[in-house]
């Protein structure tokens, strides 16, 4: 039995939910409410000591880290629709995109998301309550990020992140001159990765960077990503709305 512990179908959770839907792999969905800090509860830390989603449970084997989960799905379910090229050169190209997106793009977009949504959650708690939640967070980096969200991220950090997003959008816009997807003719994990961390939110979050004049190929790519049945099925998943306005337990 395959189980996925996940949040709403975007960013990290979206990467794996879309992969599962695109690969037509049935799974049991377990929604984790990040804005109630469920990911830091003792029972969840047994699944992922880092206190983060998503977590894949395949007959008791626990897999974390979205890019590793994605390739695990490809290896463990080889008879399902593939999201990884067959050719060694194209696999390397896909992985280079994934490395760049995971290490540079994700954090740049994430800081803007946290400035709005995690900040709203953090500010909705009184100081004692907030400190109680923070004390349970296993990763020092994440404790710092939640505190920063409550204080507000420095404008210089937000501006630097915006420049990284601008650079990423340009790289993708340029790449799409050579083919419909990031790795030529095939829709791969690299497309899912960029879509979930950046491309899908670009027009809404960074309208001056991602618009039909500046990035026509990229926005056409977004439309084609949306048109894929697996993506549409993942985005249509019925998950509780709790972002920033959840009543605490």
Residue from 4, 5, 9, 12 touching ligand GSH (CB under 6 A): that is 12
Query: Which contacts qualify for 115-118: CB closer than 8 Å, 24 or more apart?
Result: 115/149, 115/152, 115/153, 115/158, 117/35, 117/243, 117/244, 118/145, 118/146, 118/149
Residue 162 in the binding site for ligand GSH (CB under 6 A): no
CA atoms within 13 A on the CB side of 235: 13
N- to C-terminal Cα distance for the chain? Answer: 30
- What is the rounded distance in angstroms from the CA atom of residue 203 to the CA atom of residue 213? 11
Residue 188 in the binding site for ligand GSH (CB under 6 A): no
Residue 63 in the binding site for ligand GSH (CB under 6 A): no
Residue from 80, 82, 142, 242 touching ligand GSH (CB under 6 A): that is 142
Q: How far, rounded to the nearest angstrom, does the alpha carbon of residue 192 sit from its chain's CA centroid?
A: 9
Residue 242 in the binding site for ligand GSH (CB under 6 A): no
Residue from 17, 66, 149, 231 touching ligand GSH (CB under 6 A): that is 66
Residue 52 in the binding site for ligand GSH (CB under 6 A): yes
> Would you say 65 or 211 has its CB closer to ligand GSH?
65
Q: Which residues bind ligand GSH (CB under 6 A)?
A: 7, 11-12, 34, 39, 52-53, 64-66, 142
């Amino acid at each position: 039995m395959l189980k996925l512990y996940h949040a709403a179908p975007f960013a990290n959770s979206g990467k794996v939910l879309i992969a599962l839907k695109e690969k037509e792999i049935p799974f049991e969905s377990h929604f984790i409410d990040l804005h109630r800090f469920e990911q830091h509860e003792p029972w969840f830390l047994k699944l992922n000591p880092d206190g983060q989603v998503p977590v894949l449970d395949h007959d008791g084997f626990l897999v974390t880290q979205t890019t590793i989960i994605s390739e695990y799905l490809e290896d463990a379910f080889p008879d399902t629709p593939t999201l990884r090229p067959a050719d060694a050169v194209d696999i390397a190209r896909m992985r280079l995109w994934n490395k760049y997106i995971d290490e540079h793009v994700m954090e740049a977009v994430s800081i803007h998301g946290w400035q709005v949504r995690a900040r709203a959650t953090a500010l909705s708690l009184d100081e004692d309550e907030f400190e109680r939640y923070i004390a349970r967070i296993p990763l020092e980096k994440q404790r710092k990020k939640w505190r920063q969200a409550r204080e507000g991220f420095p404008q210089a950090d937000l501006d630097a992140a915006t420049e990284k997003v601008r650079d990423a959008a340009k790289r993708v816009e340029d790449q799409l001159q050579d083919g419909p997807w990031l790795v030529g003719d095939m829709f791969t994990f690299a497309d899912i990765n960029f879509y979930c961390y950046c491309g899908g939110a670009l027009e809404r979050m960074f309208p001056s960077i991602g618009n039909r004049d500046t990035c026509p190929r990229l926005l056409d790519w977004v439309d084609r990503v949306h048109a894929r049945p697996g993506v549409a099925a993942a985005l249509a998943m019925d998950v509780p709305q709790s972002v920033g306005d959840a009543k605490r337990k």
